[in-house]
Amino acid sequence: MRQTGSELRGVVHTRKRHHNDRLVVESPYLWRARRDEAQHRLICFPHAGGGANAYASWARRLPREIELAAVQLPGRQNRIAEDPVTAVDPLVRTLIDALRSVLNGSFSFFGHSSGSLLAFEVARELQAQGGPCPARLFVSAQSSPDVIWGGPKLHDLPEAEFRTAILSLGGFDTELIEDDEAVAELLPPVLADFRLWESHRITRAPLLEIPIVALVGQSDWRAPLATMEGWQAYTTASFATRVYPGGHFYLIDEGNDVPGFIEQTLLGIRSQS
């Protein structure tokens, strides 16, 4: 998703302004738009190389009944000086400890691209520990794990080809793409995330016991609809898909009201509980 220095400064400075429609850094791993009156909490997991600020606009678009929290990983934005993660299992355990303050009440997970895989693994580990568990898992623009494991790996591509493939996914400002130095700084954490998840084997068992909703852009070459539908095999609960116009970063395209769909889904869960 598009990220600029001015956006990052605006988000960090909200700690002084106390706005509950802005993400605030609460801990190294957690940014949060705290809303004490919220009925449900949406915890978001960013895409490869992306940071918590990717969801900054959602905090303003979601209604007061939904509180937004976002995961921040090493190697990006305010943690850019830290080394990226190289193993999934320790990361999952660390995140569960780091997110304890928001793993209460009614909450759901949303992950975009590789963030979907991390959200899934965190949800499954929480289930294995006896909860608390999210009410629903939204996986966005990410093929099911069996497709990833069996298919070609982008992180094995030569540097120039990897760069071309990543930029073709979209989600970057035009001026950023035209800045070779900026792209050179951007790609290492993206490559690290692709290497992490394309090398990590996710088994089907144990199955999740919560509903999964798969969201996808209809022209996404990286995660075609057919490969998203495989997520149905990873849950014993309900499964649904929702298709939007656009490609891999369909959720930032004008007219694709993803927060609105999530609002309807989550508040529907709450009203039935």
Encode the chain (273 residues) as per-residue pLDDT tens digits. Answer: 444 333 333 333 333 333 478 999 999 999 999 999 999 999 999 999 999 999 999 999 999 999 999 999 999 999 999 999 999 999 999 999 999 999 999 999 999 999 999 999 999 999 999 999 999 999 999 999 999 877 778 898 888 888 888 888 887 666 666 677 777 788 889 999 999 999 999 999 999 999 999 999 999 999 999 999 999 999 999 999 999 999 999 999 999 999 999 999 999 865 454
Question: How is domain 5-272 classified at the CATH fold level?
Answer: Rossmann fold (3.40.50)
| Helix 114-128 vs helix 88-98: crossing angle, to nearest 10 | 70
Place of tokens 């691209």: 113
- The catalytic site residues sit at 113
Closest CA to 222 of 143, 119, 155: 143
As a residue count, the chain comes to: 273
Task: Answer for the pair 192, 84: CB distance below 8 angstroms, yes or no.
Answer: yes
- Does this model's pTM top 0.85? yes
The rounded distance, in Å, linking the Cα atoms of 144 and 202 is 9
With a CB cutoff of 8 Å and minimum separation 6, the contacts of 128 are 206
Strand order in the sheet with 107-112: 24-27, 30-33, 66-71, 40-45, 107-112, 137-140, 212-217, 239-244
pLDDT of residue 8: 33
Place of tokens 């794990």: 145
Please, which residues bridge with residue 158 across strands?
Answer: none
Q: For residue 147, is it left (φ>0), alpha (ψ between -120 and 50) or beta?
A: alpha
pLDDT of residue 107: 97
Q: For residue 60, is it left (φ>0), alpha (ψ between -120 and 50) or beta?
A: alpha
Token representation of residue 24: 């605030």
Place of tokens 């660390």: 94
The rounded distance, in Å, linking the Cα atoms of 33 and 125 is 25
The rounded distance, in Å, linking the Cα atoms of 113 and 222 is 9
Domain boundaries, the chain: 5-272
Letter for the amino acid at 216? V
pLDDT of residue 270: 53
- HSE at residue 79, side-chain half, CA atoms within 13 A, is 22
